[in-house]
């Protein structure tokens, strides 16, 4: 059975990618970086698998390329 996808927060995403906050949000708007998902009224995070895929190949990452997972 595959391990469940973890949700990671902003500080972790920035540390793992090496991006600045403004660059990351610009890339989200362009569609070249995974968008955050809402996890509570005031909280958001990123799927760790999406961030791992982006780190592996940032040039060809595309939001539409996300594999179908049962959430």
In total, how many domains does the chain have? Answer: 1
**25 lies in some domain:** yes
In order of 40, 67, 71, the CA distances from 18 in angstroms are 26, 24, 28
What's the pTM? Answer: 0.80
CB 17 within 8 A of CB 54: yes
Q: Which domain holds residue 23?
A: 7-60
**38 lies in some domain:** yes
**12 lies in some domain:** yes
Determine the Cα–Cα distance for residues 54 and 63; give it in Å rounded to an integer: 10
Higher pLDDT, 1 or 3: 3
Mean pLDDT (the chain) is: 87
> Can you name the residues that pair with 45 across neighbouring β-strands?
37
pLDDT of amino acid 71: 45
pLDDT of amino acid 60: 84
**49 lies in some domain:** yes
**65 lies in some domain:** no
Each residue of 29-56: pLDDT tens digit?
999 999 999 999 999 999 999 999 999 9
- Residue 70's pLDDT band, with cuts at 50, 70 and 90, is very low
């Amino acid at each position: 059975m595959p391990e469940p996808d973890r949700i990671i927060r902003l500080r972790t995403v920035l540390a793992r990618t090496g991006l600045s906050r403004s660059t990351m949000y610009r890339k989200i708007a362009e569609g070249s970086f995974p968008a955050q998902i809402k996890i509570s009224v005031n909280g958001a995070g990123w799927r760790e698998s999406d961030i791992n895929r982006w780190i592996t190949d940032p040039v060809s990452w595309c939001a539409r390329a996300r594999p179908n997972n049962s959430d």
